Amino acid sequence: MITVIDLIHLRRCVVLAREALQAGDSPFGSVLVKNSTGQVLREDRNRITTGRDVTLHPELSLVIWAQRQQDLDRSDTTVYTSGEHCPMCATAHANAGMGRIVYVASSEQLCEWRKEMGAPPTPVALLPIEIVAPALKGVVEGPVTTKDPSLVERVKELHRVKHQQTQNQARAQTQG
């Protein structure tokens, strides 16, 4: 069940996603929380463009960071994120024994939006987390359409702006 506390963290993810967009990256943001204390351990945003590395997804960065913390029980954590984990991040999450995942928008929604916007499909199939990592069945929650539908709308808007920017850049390049 998605709680009021979850919504606070999810809203922060959307703020981080907006920061990523403003910096020139893809609009995704994530927050890592320790379940037993409620403490925010770390947050990150997508950095694939500014960091020149296609693996700089915030969900993966948080798993990498968590593995380096000596006294952290990784199963006692929640990764909140603006968009459902992609297969790369879901794989890392499951293999590292991380805990709960709560996301705002699903990969299915993202794919639908991309189709609506006329964007090409992503090179990798954005399969649902539980298909990529069956071990995570029961600990994944999202999308948050019923609790706070405006959150999904905000994420959609960020992706729309990103798509527009990408198109403008492509147009500018072809025009030389």
Could you list the residues that contact Zn ion (CB under 5 A)? 57, 86, 88-89
Three-point CA angle 76, 45, 27, nearest 5° = 125
Q: What are phi and psi of 67, to 5 degrees?
A: -65, -25
Q: Which is nearer to Zn ion, 52 or 171 (CB)?
A: 52
User: Between residues 127 and 147, which has the closer beta carbon with respect to Zn ion?
Assistant: 127
Of the candidates 30, 49, 23, the residue with the CA atom closest to the CA atom of residue 105:
30
Cβ distance to Zn ion smaller for residue 92 or 151:
92
CB of 91 to Zn ion, least distance (A): 9
- 103 bridge partner residues: 81
What's the min distance (Å) between Cβ of 162 and Zn ion? 15
Q: What minimum distance in Å lies between the beta carbon of 172 and Zn ion?
A: 28
Our CB check for Zn ion shows the closer of 89 and 132 to be: 89
Residue 28 beta carbon to Zn ion: minimum distance, rounded to whole angstroms: 8
Buried b (16+ CB within 10 A) or exposed e, 48-72: beeeeeeebbbbbbbbeebeeeeee
Distance CA 132, CA 63 (A): 16
Six-digit token pair at 31? Answer: 């927050």
- Is the CB of 31 or the CB of 170 nearer to Zn ion? 31
CB of 70 to Zn ion, least distance (A): 25
